[in-house]
Structure 1
C-alpha cells in the first residue's frame, strides 16, 4: 500500500470550526472554539486515514490574486470576525508545537498550495487525502486523490468523501468540468463573478452537455435557456475570467520536503503546554507527557493509620497550610509542597478520623482553602484565624467564569493541569493547589488594586454569610400550604377561562400548542414562526395582552404556575427539622459582585405582582421576635450622582427632593407642583433605565410610547443632567481602552463584548460598561453594611440576628426588646457604610412576617 499524505485546508477548517461551535474562551478572555474544533476534526481524520505524512496549508494574511482583474470583485468577501482572526496565529503555533508542517506562501492561496502538493505527491505514487470545507477542491479529485468535506446538519458533523467517480455521480460532471460549472454560476464568497442570471442547475446542465465553457461558447446559439445563451454571447470574457479565478493552480513554485512532513507523535511536551493554556481539558489525557504533574504526585500519600495521622499532623511546620475536604471522600492537608489525604469513605472512619481534621484546623497558623465557608460548618473551627479563600481571589481576578474549580485555579495560575481520577489524590491536588496559589493570587490582587477589596470586604463576608446560613429563616408551613392551595384554585380558574375563550382544551404549558391556537386558529397578529413553531415568549405575548384578554390570562396563568411550582411547592422541600430554611449564599456567581442565593433562591421572588409579594407572608420570626427590614433608597441613582458629579442630581439628593418628580418636571418641562403621577412614573422609568444604559427602543417598549418620544425623553434627561451623559460615555471609552471598568472599591468587571464583531454583543458591552460600576459599587456597599451590621449585633451581645440579604435589602430577626437597638445599628452601619457626595438613606419596616416588614 502506498504511503498516504493528508493535506488540510487550514483557513477553511478553522472557519468551519468557528461557526460550528458555540463561543469558548480559555478563562482569560481568549477565544478558543475555532482551535478546539480544528484539533477535534484533525484528530478524527488522522484516526480514520492513518496518514504517514501531514501538512496544513494557510492563506497569507493579505489577499492574493490569481488575475489582475480579481481586485474588482474583492469587496464581496466578508471580513473575518475578530474572535476568529485572533485564533489564526495561535492555531499555527499549536500545529507547529505538535510537529505538524504548516505551509503558507506569499502570492499563493491555500488551495493553490494544496493543489500543487496533491499533484506532486500523486505523481510520486503517494495516496493523497485532502480535507477542506471548500467544495472548490473537488476539482482536484482523481482515482488516487480523495477529497473529504465536513458537513454539519442538526448539530452533527459528517464527512463526505469524493474520488473522481464520486464527483461525477453526485454533480453529473467530472472534477475538471466542475471548474467550468463554478465559473458559470459564480461565487461571491470566493470573489468569482460568474455570468449574471446563471445558477447552479443551469450551469451544471450546460457543462454536462458541452463539457467546457469554451465548447459551450462555440455552440452558444444552441444553449438553453435563452438568457444563458445571451449572457454567454455577451459576457464570454467574464466567463473566461471566472474560469481562471476558479481554477486551482497545481504547478505552483514553492519549496517543500516530503520527509519534513512525516507524521510523528503529535502529543508533544510543547503541545501539552498549549493545550493547558487553552484549557482543552478533555484532550489532555491523550498526552503521555505531564512531567510537572508526575513530579508533584510523588510527594502525595494516602494514610489511614490513626497513629500515622497523628504524626503527620504533629509534623506540620508551614505557616500556611492548604486544606481540602469532600464529604464521603475525606480530607487532605498540604505542607511545604507535600500533601497527605485521609479517606473518610464510611461512617466508622468519619467518626474516628474527622476529629483530627477539625483539630488540624484549630492549630495556630494560616490556612488556605478553596471554599472556606464549607469548612466553617465544622463545629469547633475557629473563625478568628487568618484564612485565605482561593476561590474568592480567583473570582475577583476573573468574575466572568460561570463556575470556579480548584483545577481551573491550578491551570490558570500554576500552569498545572489536573486530570487525576483517584478521589483521595484529587484531594491532595486541591490542598497542594490552594497552598501554592495563595501568594501568586495575592500578588495579582495587589497588581489589580483589589487586595483591599479582598481583605476588607470579600473575606470578612464569608463569616457573615456563614452566620446567616446557620441562622436560616423560619417558614409557616400551614400558611405556605394555604398559599399553594390559593394558587391552585387560581390556576384552575384561569385554565377554564382560557379553554372557553379559545374554544378547545390544549396544553397551556406547551409553546407549540399555544402558538398554533393563538396564531393559526385565532389569527392573532405578530406571530413569529421558528423551527419549532410560533414563538410564545413573554415579550411576544406582552405586546398582545392589552388588546386580547385571553393572552393576558395566559400570562397570568404562567405567573401563577411558576409561583406554585417554584415557591409554594418548592419551598416546602427546603424546610429543615427545625422549621427553618437554611439556604446557601454565593459570592462567586455574578460578574457585578452581587450575592446570589440558592437552595432555595429567595432573590427572585416576583415582587412586581401582589400575589408574588404574598409569598413573603410565609416567612415568620420565632416567638418573642419580630422582623426588621431595612432597604436602601435608590442606592444606584445615588451612586450615579456621586460618580457623575452632576450638580443638579447631587443638589436634589442633598435637599431630599422627590428625585422622580424633579426629573419629570425637567424632562417634561412642567412646574414641579404640576407633575402628574403618569409623568412621575415615566420619569422613574427613565431614571432607572439610564442606570442600565437603556436605549430609545427599550424605553419605548417599557412605557408603550413611540421610539421618537422615548428618544426625546432620553435627550431631555441628558440635557437636565449633563454630568451623567459625560460619565456614561466616559465609562464606555474607558472600557474600550482598558478592557474593563471598576467600582468605587476597585472591583473589576472585564468587558470583552466591546471587541466583538457582533453589533448586538457590542451594544450589550456598552450597557455593561455604563452599569457595572454602579451596580458593582452598590453590591460592595451592601457587603460592607452586612459585615458591619452583623458584627455590631454580635459585639453588643444581642439575641437578634441577620437572616437575609436580597438586592438592596437586609432582614433582621430582632428580639422584641432589642428592636430599637437593631434599628439604630441598621441606620448607623448601612447609611454610613461609605461616604458619598450624596447621603445614603434606608427605609425601615417592622412586621410579624416578611410581607408586613417590607
Structure 2
C-alpha cells in the first residue's frame, strides 16, 4: 500500500448520506419517540467515516457534499435531474448535523455553491494525481469511474466493490478513458440525461471498442445498421450536449473554499477529532454507545476487523492461479495438496438444481487464496478435450472425501453432499459452510455466494448465466467450454475460501453466535439424512382423495350457481362483484387500490357470516387448493422407483431460524379441516413398519414463561397444569375446576394471540366479540401475568435500541423496520420483536432435538429413520419391534435438549400412517 503521506481520500458525502439513510433503521434522538429528531443517517455517516479513517491511512482527505441550488448543468439543460424525487424531510433535517459531526471527526468538509460534489471530487482527484499522489474515492456512484486511472481508484466501502482500471473495464466493457463516451450513449436515468434510445451497456461498449471513441462512432454513424443505427443518427444533434452533461469537471475554481489551493494541499490535511465537541454531539443525539466508546478512547464502534479488511484487500489485488486437471499426474499432485491442506474449499458443477437427481459434471477445489483447480469430468460440448474418466476419478478421490479428519468447506454443503451421494460417496469432514455463516451473522441479507463475495471481499465474477445463457437458449453446464467452466468453478471455490476467512473470525469472536452456527452445521448433516430417507406416500389413496375432492368441487360449483341464480366464473373478481353487490345486494366491505369492490378472502370470510354464497366459495377455494397443491401433486413428486417423496429443507431462509420445505411443502399442509387432515393419511409406513410422530407440547408458551419469568405462568407449567385452563381461571376469576370449555377456548386464543403480539382489535376479531370486551380481557390477563407485560415492554425498547432481538440461545433476529416512520410497518416489527424470540427459540430447540435424536439413532437404533420435520414435530419410520423404544426414548431425548425454567414436554403417537400417529 502506498505511503499515507502521499494519499488523498475523497468521500462522496452526498452519495453516502443517502445510503446511510436507507441502510440504517429509523433511529431517533429519543428512542421510540417519533416526534424527536431522526438520527439514522447521522449514525450511519459516523460509522462509515470512522471505519474509513481506521482502514484507509491517508494524510489528506475531504468529505464532499452537494450544495443546494442550481449548477451549470441546470442552465445547460433545464430538465437536468427533473425526475429526481425531493430529499425526504427527515433526511433533510439531518444534513446540517451531518456536516457538523464530519468536521468534529476531523474531516475537511467541502460544499461549494454552484458546483456539484462530483465536480469537486474530479478537480481534487485530477490535481492530486498530477502531483504524483494516490487518490482513493469512497463512493458507490458509477459515474465517478470516468476519473479512474493508474493513480485514482473508486472504492465502494459499503459493498466492497473496487473500481480500478481493470475493475472498470471488467464491469462496463470499456476502459475508464472511454467512460464519458459510454455514459453519453447509455444516458443517465437518475439525472434525467437521455442517451441513445434502446442502446444499452453492451451495445455502447461494442460500438466504442469498434470505433475507438464517441467521435469515431459519430463519424461512421451512417454505417450502423438496424433500429440502433437509426436511433443513433436521430440522436447526433443531442450527443454533444449529453456528453457535456455527463462529463465530470476537473477544473473547478476551489480557491475560495480551500485557501492556498491549488498551490498547497494544506487545507486538506486530516485533522484531529474534537473530543469535547463529539461528546456533546453524541449526547445531544442519543448516541450512548458512541459516547461510551469515546470515553474509552475510541472514536466509535468497530465496524469490521482489520483482518477482514486485509482479506478483502488481498482478494481484490492478487493474481490468481487456476488450473484445469486433465491427466493423472496432475490429479495426483493436487491430491497431495488436498491431503496436506488445513482446509479445502470444495464445489461441484452438476447437471441439475434437483439435488437428488443431479449428476457431476466437474469438481473444483481451493486450498489457499488465489489457488484452485477444476477437474472436468462430463463436458460434452463442441471441442471438449479428452477428460479423465468420472468413475475412476471419484474412486481415487473417495478416501479423501470420506475422511472425517480431512477438513472441508463449502457453500451450501448439503447440496454438494447429495450430489456426491448420488455417486455413492458419503462425504465426511465438512466443518464449515459459508452460506450458514452468513445466515447466522447477517440473517436479513442474501446468502448466495455472489452476494457474499461482493459484500465481504469486493470480488465480482462470472455468473452461471454468463456461461450458459438464459431462458430457452440456456445450455447445460456440460456444454460450456472447459476453459470457461474451469475459470467459473475455480472462482467459486476460491471465493468461498475468501468469504470464510472474513466470516469465520467474526463467529469466533461471538461465542453465542458461534454456538448457533455449530448447531446449524450439525443440523445440515441431519437434514441431509432426512431428505435422503424420504417418506413413503400411498399414490392410490392420493388419487382416490383427488377424485373425491373433484366431485365435491363440482358439487360446490353447482350449489354456488343455484345460490347466485346463474352460472358464473368462481375465480373472476369482476363477476363475483356483480353478483354479490349488484344482484344480491351484499354490503361492500372494502375496495381495492384501484377502487374496485374487493372480493378477497377477508371479504368472503366477513360476508360468509351472513350469506351462504361466500361460504360456498370459501369452501370451494379451500378444496381446490388441497387438490391442486397436494392430492394431485404428491404422487407425481414421489420417486418412481421407491414411491417416496424427498422434500428439500431450506435452512437459510426464515429469519426466525425455522426451516421451510418445498417440493413438496410439508410445513403448510392444512390440518384445521377434516379434508386437510386426511392428506396425512397418505404418508404411510411400509409393511412391517410404523410411523411415529413426536412433538413439543405448547413449546412457545413454555418459552414465554421462561423468558418473561412470570411467576403465575411458571407455576402453571411447573405444576403440570393445563395452561389454558389455568389462564382462564386467572382471567375470569374462577376456580380451575369451574372453567367452562368456552372460557378455556377464549384463554387459549389470548395465550397464543399475545405471543404473536395480537392487539385488542385482533383478539376481538378472533373471538367474535367487541373491542372493549377484548381490551378488558387483555388488561385482566396482564394484571394476572405482570411478568409477561414487563417482558413485552422491555423487548420493544431493547429491539428499538439494538435493531434486533435474541433467542434464549443467542440467535439474532434482525428487525429492520423496528424504528420505521411508517406506523403499520413499525407496529408489525414490534409484534415480531415479541414473538421472534419465542419462534426462534422453538426453532433452536427442534434443531437441537433433531441433532441429538439422530446421533442416538445412529448409535443405537439405525433401523429407525427420521423422515420429516414439521414445525415442532419430528416424524419417524420404524420397525414394529422398535415401537416401545421410540415411545419411551424419543420424548425423553427431546425433552432433555435444554434446561429451561419450566419442563419441556414432548408427546409421541404411533400408527400405520402420519394421521394415525397423531
TM value normalised by structure 1: 0.71
**1:465 corresponds to 2:488:** no
Q: 1:789–1:825: 8 Å Cα contact kept in structure 2?
A: no
| Cα displacement (A) at 1:358 | 4.0
Structure 2 partner of 1:73:
none
Q: Residues of 2 paired with 1:534 and 1:85: CA distance?
A: 44
Aligned to 1:501: 563
Query: How many residues are aligned here?
Result: 663
TM-superposed deviation, 1:85:
8.1
Check conservation: 2:337, 2:367, Cα contact below 8 A.
Answer: no
Matched, 1:374 2:415: yes
Partner of 2:525, secondary structure, is: helix
- Give the Cα separation in 1 of the matches to 2:450 and 2:78: 39
Per the alignment, residue 541 of structure 2 pairs with: 479
Could you list the runs of 5+ residues in structure 1 that have no partner in the other structure? 1-9, 33-77, 134-148, 153-187, 192-251
Q: State the shift of 1:509 in Å.
A: 2.0
1:286 and 2:172 correspond: yes
- Give 1:397's aligned residue: 441
> Pick from 76, 80, 100: which aligns with 1:131?
80
Selected match of 2:816 from 740, 748, 752: 752
Match of 1:593 in 2: 657
Q: Using the TM superposition, give the Cα deviation of residue 608 of structure 1 relative to its aligned residue in structure 2, in angstroms.
A: 1.0
CA pair 444-501 structure 1, distance change in 2 beyond 3 A: same
Is the CA contact 1:292–1:416 (under 8 Å) kept in the aligned structure 2? no
**Larger CA Rg, structure 1 vs 2:** 1
**Kept after mapping to 2: 8 A contact 1:31/1:87:** no
Q: What secondary structure, in the 3-state scheme, does the structure 2 residue paired with 1:330 have?
A: strand
Shift of 1:710: 1.2
The separation in 1 between residues aligned to 2:559 and 2:842, in whole angstroms, is: 44
In structure 2, the CA distance between the partners of 1:520 and 1:291, relative to structure 1 (3 Å rule), is farther
3-state SS, counterpart of residue 523 of structure 1: coil
Alpha carbons of structure 1 residues 279 and 731: separation in structure 2 relative to 1, 3 Å = farther
CA distance in 1, matches of 2:168, 2:565: 54
2:342 matched to 1:319? yes
| 1:171-194 deviations in Å (ceiling 9; x for gaps) | xxxxxxxxxxxxxxxxx99x9xxx
- What secondary structure is seen at the aligned counterpart in 1 of 2:809? coil
Give the direction of change, closer, same or farther, for the CA distance of 1:635–1:575 in structure 2 (3 Å limit): same
Residue 336 of structure 1 pairs with residue 399 of structure 2: no
- The 3 A distance-change label for structure 1 pair 79 and 495 is farther
Counterpart-to-counterpart distance in 2, 1:354 and 1:804: 31
State the partner residue of 1:362: 402
Q: CA deviation at 1:88?
A: 9.2
- Secondary structure of 1:620's counterpart equals coil
Deviation at 1:584, TM superposition (A): 1.2
Contact 1:322–1:433 (CA under 8 A) maintained in structure 2: no
Equivalent of 2:912 in 844, 848, 853: 848
RMSD over aligned Cα, in angstroms? Answer: 3.8
Query: Which residue of structure 2 lines up, in the alignment, with residue 611 of structure 1?
Result: 675
SS at match of 1:276: coil
Structure 2 regions of 5+ residues with no counterpart? 1-11, 27-34, 51-55, 93-110, 124-142, 177-311, 352-360, 381-386, 467-483
Query: Distance in 1 between the 2:713 and 2:814 partners?
Result: 28
Distance 1:444 1:827, change over 3 A: same
How far 1:346 sits from its partner (Å)? 3.7
For 1:669-688, list aligned pairs within 5 A. Answer: 669-688=733-752
CA deviations over 1:104-127 (Å, ceiling 9, x no partner): 45xxxx23x44xx469xx6xxxx4
Structure 1 pair 318/103, CA: closer, same or farther in 2 (3 Å)? closer
Question: Structure 1, residues 151-202: CA drift from partner, whole Å, max 9, x if none?
Answer: 99xxxxxxxxxxxxxxxxxxxxxxxxxxxxxxxxxxx99x9xxxxxxxxxxx
Contact in 2 for aligned 1:512/1:532 (Cα 8 Å): no
SS in 1 for 2:649: strand
Is the counterpart of residue 418 in structure 1 residue 458 in structure 2? no
Of the structure 1 ranges 471-480 and 515-524, higher mean CA displacement relative to structure 2 is found in 515-524
* Comparing 529-538 and 598-607, the one that deviates more: 529-538
Residue matched to 2:248 = none
Q: CA deviation at 1:366?
A: 0.9
Counterpart mapping for 1:690-705 below 5 A = 690-705=754-769
TM-aligned CA distance change 1:630 to 1:487, over 3 Å = same
Pair 1:266-2:146 in alignment? yes
- CA distance, structure 1, for counterparts of residue 786 and residue 625 of structure 2: 42
Tell me, what secondary structure is at the counterpart of 1:744?
A: coil
CA distance in 1, matches of 2:147, 2:866: 55
Q: Cα distance 1:704–1:639, how it changes in 2: closer, same or farther (>3 A)?
A: same
Aligned equivalent of 1:564, options 616, 619, 627: 627
TM-superposed deviation, 1:536: 2.3
Q: Partner residue of 2:581?
A: 519
SS of 1:741's partner is strand
User: 1:307: which partner in 2?
Assistant: 329
Cα contact 1:594–1:776 (8 A) shared by 2: yes
* Residue aligned with 1:597, SS: strand
Q: Report the alpha carbon displacement of residue 389 of structure 1 after superposing the two structures with TM.
A: 1.3
Q: State how far apart, in whole Å, the 2-side matches of 1:839 and 1:519 are.
A: 54
Classify 1:515/1:104 alpha carbon distance in 2 versus 1 (closer, same or farther; 3 Å): same
Question: C-alpha displacement at 1:621, in angstroms?
Answer: 0.5
Contact 2:516–2:809 (CA under 8 A) maintained in structure 1: no
Is the Cα contact below 8 Å between 2:411 and 2:449 reproduced in 1?
Answer: yes
Q: Is the 8 A contact 1:81 1:757 kept in 2?
A: no
Residue 614 of structure 2 corresponds to which residue in structure 1? 551
